[in-house]
Amino acid sequence: MDRVFFEQLGLPEPKHNLEAGSGTHGEQTGRMLIGIEKVLMKEKPDIVLVCGDTNTVLAGALAASKLLVRIGHVEAGLRSFDRSMPEEVNRVLTDHVSDYLFAPTEKAKGNLLKEGVSEEKIFVTGNTIVDAVYQNIRLAEKNANALEKIGVNGGEYFLTTVHRQENVDNKQRFRNILEGLELLQRDFSLPVVYPIHPRARRRMQEYGLDGGSLTMVEPLDYLSFLQLESKARLILTDSGGVQEEACILRVPCVTLRYNTERPETLDVGANVIAGTEPGSILEKTMLMMGRSREWENPFGDGRAAERIISVIRGLFEK
């Protein structure tokens, strides 16, 4: 699925491809740890940057720490305070093994300080996701025709993503979410577009669930999805990144979880926590449908990458 990102965004070919594939958390992380260690031993970098909260991030940080290579964690300090989420474990471990922590917001910096991280290691830079959205939204508007392909009009559909382990691996939760989405479609007479992740589709088949009248489509490329986000009436998601993108694009968001590591979206009124019960999903959607879109983006001005590079240059010039 990553192939399309390189093609669409004109990115250079990666020098190394681990081809780690999928598997259990332990299997996947272990394969990446072995592969990344070999790359680092060959390349001998001065610093390794890891971005986000995936298993790749944890494997990269562990490999670098064992080889005594300095580590910078981009998007440091995010916390849902729910250790049952694999991403939360990855975030915490990566933060505490990193030498430099690039926090997107003051709130993220505060989380790190509360955990005893030295303030001199923390740099508030904004989030690179803002850089990506600002750089690519015009490209999406020019080159993507997702709405036409799916058969929806701007501002006249809901967009949803549901993929997290705690939701799709729990039959009752997944059933509840699907029922909630169908309630929205019925009550608002708007289609619910659901680009379904392969794993979520497998779980639906295993559980004997179906999407009912939802508009279920195959996973989308980045530009098509960005276009769908920007034109949606409202977004319902269990993705942290999509919560941020919705906030940046000023599209109201309803989070299909019981917590979020992006509380800034709640603070500015761009997002609300609904959980997974159908009634709550409907109630929170009604709330957000009436909300003004004039909130301020709390994640920066689109120059986070510049700040991170500037900090690194300063550190290595000392």
pLDDT band at 10 (very low <50, low <70, confident <90, very high): confident
List, in sequence order, every residue forming a beta bridge with 123; answer none if it has no partner. Answer: 102
Asked whether residue 294 is assigned to any structural domain, the reply reads no
- The pTM score is 0.93
142 contacts 223 by C-beta, under 8 angstroms? no
CATH number at residue 156: 3.40.50.2000
Count other Cβ atoms within 10 Å, centred on residue 249. 19
Tell me phi and psi for residue 73, to 5 degrees: -100, 110
Q: Is the pLDDT of residue 238 over 90?
A: yes
* Residue scoring higher pLDDT (316 or 262): 262
Q: Is the pLDDT of residue 113 over 90?
A: yes
Mean pLDDT over the full length of the chain: 95
Q: Do 112 and 152 belong together in one domain?
A: no
pLDDT of residue 226: 96
Q: Do 264 and 191 belong together in one domain?
A: yes
pLDDT of residue 21: 77
Cα gap 191→207, rounded to integer Å = 24
| Digit-coded pLDDT (tens) for 125-163 | 999 999 999 999 988 988 779 999 999 999 999 999 999
| Digit-coded pLDDT (tens) for 240-263 | 999 999 999 999 999 999 999 999
- Cα distances from 27 to residues 21, 32, 56, in angstroms, run 10, 9, 12
How many helices and strands, by DSSP H and E, does the chain display?
15, 10
pLDDT of residue 24: 86
Q: Do 176 and 114 belong together in one domain?
A: no
pLDDT of residue 166: 92
Cα gap 215→281, rounded to integer Å = 18
Domain count, the chain: 2
pLDDT of residue 318: 67
pLDDT band at 1 (very low <50, low <70, confident <90, very high): low
Cα gap 246→228, rounded to integer Å = 11
Q: Do 138 and 272 belong together in one domain?
A: yes
Range 234-245 average pLDDT = 97
Q: Is the pLDDT of residue 3 over 80?
A: no
Q: Do 121 and 177 belong together in one domain?
A: no
Active site residues: 163
The residue whose two tokens read 């939802």 is 214
Asked whether residue 76 is assigned to any structural domain, the reply reads yes
pLDDT of residue 141: 86
Report CA Rg, the chain.
20
Q: Do 115 and 176 belong together in one domain?
A: no
pLDDT of residue 303: 98
Q: Do 143 and 263 belong together in one domain?
A: yes
95 contacts 101 by C-beta, under 8 angstroms? yes
Cα gap 14→18, rounded to integer Å = 10
SS3 of 105, please? Answer: coil
Q: Minimal CA–CA distance to 250: which of 265, 262, 272?
A: 265
**For a pLDDT cut of 90, what percent of the chain falls above it?**
86
Q: What residue numbers bound the domain in which 73 lies? A: 3-127+301-317
